[in-house]
Each structure stands twice: as structure tokens, then as C-alpha cells.
Amino acid sequence: MSEDDWSDYGQDTRAIRAGQRRTREQEHSDPIFATSSYVFSSAAEAADRFSGKQPGNIYSRFTNPTVRAFEERLAVMEGGQRCIATASGMAAIASVAFGLLKAGDHVACSRGVFGNTTLLFQNYLAKFGVATTFVNLTDYRGWESALQPDTRFLFLETPSNPLTEIVDIARLAAIAHRNGSLLIVDNCFCTPALQQPLALGADIVIHSATKYLDGQGRCVGGAIVGPNELLEKEIYPFLRTGGPAMSPFNAWVFLKGLETLSLRMRAHCDNAGALARWLETRPWVERVYYPGLISHAQHELAMKQQSGGGGIVSFDVRGGRDAAWKLIDATRLLSITANLGDTKTTITHPATTTHGRLGDAERAAAGIGDGLVRVAVGLEDLGDLQRDLSRAFPE
Ligand SMILES: *Cc1c(COP(=O)(O)O)cnc(C)c1O
């Protein structure tokens, strides 16, 4: 079996086979290398490893075979040359920032990104002299006018959280590249099973492996995928030194997760799509946000760019915050938690949780109303989800 060239193989085969290097034990499943360090056959070999003259394992902060198997598999699935695994999704974003940025640099970031990503740029990178301009995701003019000569990268998520807005990755990549900037896409919501940003022109893909890559809510982890040279020269040295490494056990869980990723994502899309269409017919629902619906503002673009609508459905409940809380509190099956990407369906009130730290005006500008509810649709029976969401407002 060829170890490196997966170009002739389909996406499902890659997800199951890529990255594994069988040891002398001839194990069928990937082994977990629970070791912090590695031994050398001689002082000269140790010297060659440390200087980089000879490739190989040194220390598990930056070289571990189980972690490497996960990196190789995810790189192949995203169509990237290289992947670097990290301790969490935030560790991936922080590592990209520390690796690529210096004082005086500028970042353009979508307003619709994960809350901690906003805080990282706004509160922490600002301390090191990196300025960030926040832009509405689908405002192409806004992106263009935010760019400066020192803009190192544009950062975004598509679909956005919680309103599932979609941006044209190819169009934004062209805008970024004209300015000599990189485009970084957090592909957490779609995963490579539904969307491959690198093929559309993005330079780097970020993952919170905690979500769909694991898929069963067990481990925290992250990943960075992109061109070999950029990752090897600018980001990997930071990881080696700074230390936000993924544990071998977590890498093993994610490897297992990748094997069933496309199956699970198809099932998440089917369940979410059916739930979204049902919600549109409920009298207590004002509006539904789901890329797979014809009523979605960027439905056509979504269906061109993604091979499915994804697992996140948001909707406005008539009656504002009281009605939204009543609906959430009446559920018995759904988990009231902000996590997503699990087989278990979760339900959140964004205005008072994930987006609670925004001011009222900022939240209104972002379109996040008091009646908005976000459901990360899991893999339970659709009828049970519908029954649970109907408890507050029996018809
Ligand atoms: C959860 C999440 C992150 C952060 O990942 P952690 O693994 O929790 O650190 C980043 N981006 C998106 C879109 C997320 O949903």
C-alpha cells in the first residue's frame, strides 16, 4: 500500500486508510504511542535528529507517531500538504497567530466567528501590537476597505455561528491575494466532508477537532492545515517551542472519528435539513436559518460551495427571550449546552450565552435577536427531536 500518494483514492477511503504506518507488530488499528520521548542508537544519531539533519522522533511535544497519523490523514482529507495538530481549536488559532504575526501587523476578522477567537485578537494580540478590524462576513466591500498594506491575513468561519451566513471563499481568496494577504478559514462547521476551503483558494484551514472530527464529545483538540513551506517555516517552530501539543490518546480518538466522518456528516445534514423544514411550518417559529433551505439568503452559494447544509439550525421563536427560554426549558431530551458536533443534539440561547458578552447594539447589528435559538442537530430520531421542541407550545 502506497503510504503517501492518496490522489487516486476517494474521500471515504482516505478518511479510513491515510496516515497509518503499521509497526512490526502488524496491528490492524492505529496504535497509541504513549511515550513522551524516544531513544537514539548513538550520540551522533541524537545530534542529527536534534539538528534536523535526520528526520524522526525526538520528543512528543512536537513528534509523536499517533499524532502524526492524525495529521497526515486530515491533511489528505482537506487536500493540504501539511497538517499540524494542536491541543485545542483555540490552540490552533493562537499558534497560527503567534507563528505568522509580528508587532505592527494587521488582521481582518469576520464578526461572525467563535467568541474566544474574537477575544484572542481583540484582547491578547492587541497587547503585542497587532491591530484587528472586524468585518461583517458577507460584506465584500467591507473586507476590501478593511485591508491595509500590513494585513497578514483574513480570518473567517463559513457558515457563521449562529446565523449560518455563507461567504464565497473563492471571491474572498481573490480579494485577500490581491492585497498580498492570506485567507484563513475555520472549517469547523462543515469539516472536509462537506467543504474543502483550500481547493477554493484559502491558504490555511483551522479545525476544532473537539466538534465533528471527534463527533461524540469526548476529547478537546485542534488542527492547522496548509502549504508545507508556510507551516513548516512559520507555524511549526512556534508549536515546537510554545508547546500547545495534542496528546497521543486524543489523536487516536480523532483518527477513529475521521473514519466515520463522512457517514456522520451525511446523517447530521439529513436530520438537520428535515428539522429545519419542519420548523418552517411551526406557528411559533418566526424564521429559520439553515443553508439547506431555499429560503436561506445564500442558499445557492451554499449548495455550490458545500455538499450539504451542515448540522446547525437556528430559528427565531415568536415572543422574544421569554418564549425562547420557555422552549429551551421545556425540552427533556436535548442537552442545554453550547457545545456542538456531537451525536447528542444540543440547544442554546445565543443572546444570553455564546454572544452574551456583546453589547445590545452590537448583538442587534449582528442579527442575533432575543428570540433566537440554536440547535446543533445530533443523530437521534427526528420524531423525538420534534416532540421535544414542541413541548413548550403544544398545537
Ligand atoms: C469550538 C470552536 C473553536 C474552538 O475550539 P476548542 O477546541 O474549543 O478550543 C473554534 N472555532 C469554532 C468554529 C468552534 O466551534
Over range 279-302, report the average pLDDT.
97
Shared domain check, 245 and 111 = yes
User: Could you tell me if the CB of 14 is within 6 A of ligand 1?
Assistant: no
Please give the mean pLDDT across all residues of the chain.
Answer: 96
Residue 55: domain span: 3-259
Domain termination site, one of 209, 237, 259: 259
Classify residue 229: in a domain, yes or no: yes
DSSP string, 336-392: ESS--SSSS-EEE-GGGTTTTTS-HHHHHHTT--TTEEEEE--SS-HHHHHHHHHSS
Q: Are residues 245 and 108 in the same domain?
A: yes
User: What is residue 262's predicted lDDT score, i.e. its pLDDT?
Assistant: 97
pLDDT band at 65 (very low <50, low <70, confident <90, very high): very high
What spacing in Å lies between the alpha carbon of 29 and ligand 1's midpoint?
A: 28
Atom of ligand 1 nearest to the CA of 161: 13
Mean pLDDT of 34-43: 97
> Is 118 in the same domain as 129?
yes
Q: Kindly state whether residues 253 and 270 are assigned to the same domain.
A: no
Å from CA of 113 to ligand 1 middle: 9
Q: 18 alpha carbon to ligand 1 midpoint, in Å? A: 25
Query: Is there a single domain that holds both residue 278 and residue 246?
Result: no
Ligand 1: does its nearest atom lie under 6 Å from the Cβ of 188?
Answer: yes
Q: Are residues 217 and 292 in the same domain?
A: no
CA distance 273 to 309: 7
Domain boundary among 230, 259, 288: 259
Residue 212 lies in a domain: yes
At 50, which CATH number?
3.40.640.10
Whether residue 250 is found in the same domain as residue 284: no
C-alpha separations of 190 from 118, 204, 367, 376 in Å: 20, 15, 22, 12
pLDDT of residue 96: 98
Can you tell me the mean pLDDT for 127-155? 97
Q: Is 60 in the pocket of ligand 1 (CB under 6 A)?
A: no
Residue 367 — pLDDT band, cuts 50, 70, 90? confident
Position in ligand 1 atom list of the atom nearest CA 209 = 7
State which of 90, 163, 346 you would mutate to test the pocket of ligand 1, scoring each by most atoms of that ligand within 8 A of its C-beta. 90
Whether residue 85 lies inside any domain: the answer is yes
| Residue 186 reports pLDDT greater than 50 | yes
- Give the position, in ligand 1's atom list, of the atom nearest the Cα of 113: 13
In a domain, 210, yes or no: yes
Question: Does residue 395 fall inside a structural domain?
Answer: no
Pocket test of ligand 1: the residue of 204, 211, 354 to mutate, having most ligand atoms within 8 Å of its CB, is: 211
Whether 354 is covered by a domain: the verdict is yes
pLDDT at 355 over 90: no
Q: Is residue 207 lining ligand 1, measured as CB closer than 6 Å? A: no
Is 49 inside any structural domain?
yes
My answer on whether 253 and 273 are in the same domain is no
Q: Which of 259, 279, 307 is at the close of a domain?
A: 259
Atom of ligand 1 nearest to the CA of 91: 9
CA of 327 to the centre of ligand 1 (A): 26
- What distance in Å separates the CA atoms of residue 312 and residue 380, rounded to the nearest whole number? 14
Q: Are residues 236 and 295 in the same domain?
A: no
pLDDT score of 2 more than 60? no
Q: Express each pLDDT in 197-251 by its tens digit.
A: 999 999 999 999 999 999 999 999 999 999 999 999 999 999 999 999 999 999 9
Within a domain: residue 187? Answer: yes
Q: Say yes or no: CB of residue 157 within 6 Å of ligand 1.
A: yes
Tally the domains of the chain: 2
C-alpha of residue 89 to centroid of ligand 1, in Å: 5
Residue 155 CA to residue 172 CA, distance in Å, equals 10
CATH number at residue 377: 3.90.1150.10
Instruction: Please tell me if the CB atom of residue 186 comes closer than 6 angstroms to any atom of ligand 1.
Output: yes
156 and 87 both lie in a single domain: yes
Output the DSSP codes for 177-243: HHTT-EEEEE-TTTHHHH--GGGGT-SEEEEETTTTTT-SS----EEEEE-HHHIIIIIHHHHHHH-
Which percentage of the chain shows pLDDT scores above 70?
99
Alpha-carbon distance of 112 to 184, in angstroms, equals 14
Q: What band does 56 get if pLDDT is binned at 50, 70 and 90?
A: very high
Give the pLDDT confidence score for residue 1 in this predicted structure.
44
Residues 285, 360 share a domain: yes
How far apart are the CA of 206 and the centre of ligand 1, in A? 9
**Omega into 65 within 30° of 0, i.e. cis?**
no
- For ligand 1, what atom is nearest to the CA of residue 93? 10
Ligand 1 close to Cβ of residue 208 (< 6 A): yes
Residue ID of nearest Cα to ligand 1 atom 8: 89
237/372 same-domain check: no
Please state the atom number of ligand 1 nearest to the C-alpha of residue 221: 7
Q: What is the mean pLDDT of the segment spanning 2-20?
A: 87
- d(Cα 349, Cα 372) in Å, to the nearest integer? 6
5 C-alpha to ligand 1 centroid (Å): 30
CB of 88 within 6 A of ligand 1: the answer is yes
Minimal-distance CA residue to ligand 1 atom 2: 208
Left (φ > 0), alpha (ψ -120 to 50) or beta: where does 218 sit? alpha
Average pLDDT over residues 167-190: 98
Instruction: Kindly state if the Cβ of 90 falls inside 6 Å of ligand 1.
Output: yes
| Percent of the chain whose pLDDT exceeds 90 | 92
Give 330-348 pLDDT, tens digit per residue. Answer: 999 999 998 899 999 999 9
pLDDT tier for residue 359 given thresholds of 50, 70 and 90: confident
Least-confidence region, from 90-99, 167-176, 362-371: 362-371
